[in-house]
Structure 1
Amino acid sequence: MTSKYSKFFSAASEFNLDNFPYYWITQVHSQYVQNVDHALKKYGLDNSRRRILLALKSKPNASVSDLSDMLIFKMSTTTKIIYRLKDEGLVDTYCCEEDARITRVVLTHMGEQMVEKINDLSHIVLDQSFEGLTPLQIEKMLDSLKLIFRNLAH
């Protein structure tokens, strides 16, 4: 490890938790999830179900496997949540015509309506979280996070 990064890592003698980037990434994410969960309670949803619904909005007819990969969930967890959403009338499932081993998931009309409600609530939380930042600062933060992700994905 090069010394130019040493103050950011826990092995350094001058380490301070406030300088550890992953501490802040997890803190921000946890607070975001907590705020969104609180807002979603009035619709009887939680963060896991919200994430699947939003993923289906961005990738209609996704397979269970696709959703697991997108959301970094275990396949068993994804399956359990999808069938819970199905019982609630928010999604439907069907067998893929090309490969019957693949289960595809689609939003129902009720699911589409729920996504609209989720987006309305999420905008409030995002507005709150980005207060004091310029769009350029947010874009730079996104670029940095994408770069860090690509570095870790190798």
Structure 2
Amino acid sequence: MTKKYAKFLPSSEDFNLDDFPFYWITQVHAQYVLNVDHVLKKFGVDNSRRRLLVALETKPDASVSELSEMIVSKMSTTTKIVYRLKDEGYVETYSCPNDARITRVKLTEAGRQMTSKINDLMGVVLEQSFEGLTPLQIEKLMESLKHIFRNLSH
């Protein structure tokens, strides 16, 4: 380990939890999920369903494995979410015409309407989250988080 990162690691002699970046990443994520779940509760949708619906909106007719990668979830968990959403009428599944082993997922009209409602509610949470930050600060934050994600992904 290099000294330049020592201050941020729990093994440091003068470690302070407030200096550990992943503490704040998990704190922010946990609070975000709590706020999102609270807002979505009135629609009977939880955060895992929201993530999949929004991912599917950005990549229509995605395969279950593509959705799994997009929402950073195990394939078995993603499959369970897909079939819950299917039972609720928000998505349909079908076999890929080119390769029947691949299951593709698409939003139904009810799924598109729910995703639209979710996006409206997410706007409220987003504004609350970033109050006091400039768009440039948010862009810089996203650049840093993407960089860290790429570092951890290989």
Letter in 2 for 1:86: K
* 4+ runs deviating over 2 angstroms: none
**1:60 aligns to what?**
60
Letter in 2 for 1:26: T
2:41 is the alignment partner of 1:45: no
**2:74 aligns to what?**
74
> Cα distance, 1:79 vs. partner?
1.1
> Cα distance, 1:15 vs. partner?
0.5
CA distance in 2, matches of 1:22, 1:39: 25
CA distance in 1, matches of 2:89, 2:100: 23
Identity between Structure 1 and Structure 2 (%): 70
> Cα distance, 1:67 vs. partner?
0.8
What does residue range 1-154 of structure 1 map to in structure 2 within 5 Å?
1-154=1-154
CA distance in 1, matches of 2:54, 2:130: 20
CA distance in 2, matches of 1:91, 1:121: 20
RMSD: 0.8
SS in 1 for 2:118: helix
> Cα distance, 1:68 vs. partner?
1.0
* Count of matched residue pairs: 154
> Cα distance, 1:146 vs. partner?
1.2
CA deviation profile, 1:5-29 (whole Å, cap 9, x unmatched): 1110000001000000000000000
TM-score by length of 1: 0.97
Q: Name whichever of 67-76 and 6-15 sits farther off.
A: 67-76
CA distance in 2, matches of 1:4, 1:55: 37
> Cα distance, 1:71 vs. partner?
1.2
Structure 2 gap segments, 5+ residues each: none
> Cα distance, 1:73 vs. partner?
1.3
> Cα distance, 1:150 vs. partner?
1.8
CA distance in 1, matches of 2:69, 2:51: 12
Structure 1 gap segments, 5+ residues each: none
TM-score by length of 2: 0.97
> Cα distance, 1:105 vs. partner?
0.2
Letter in 2 for 1:63: S
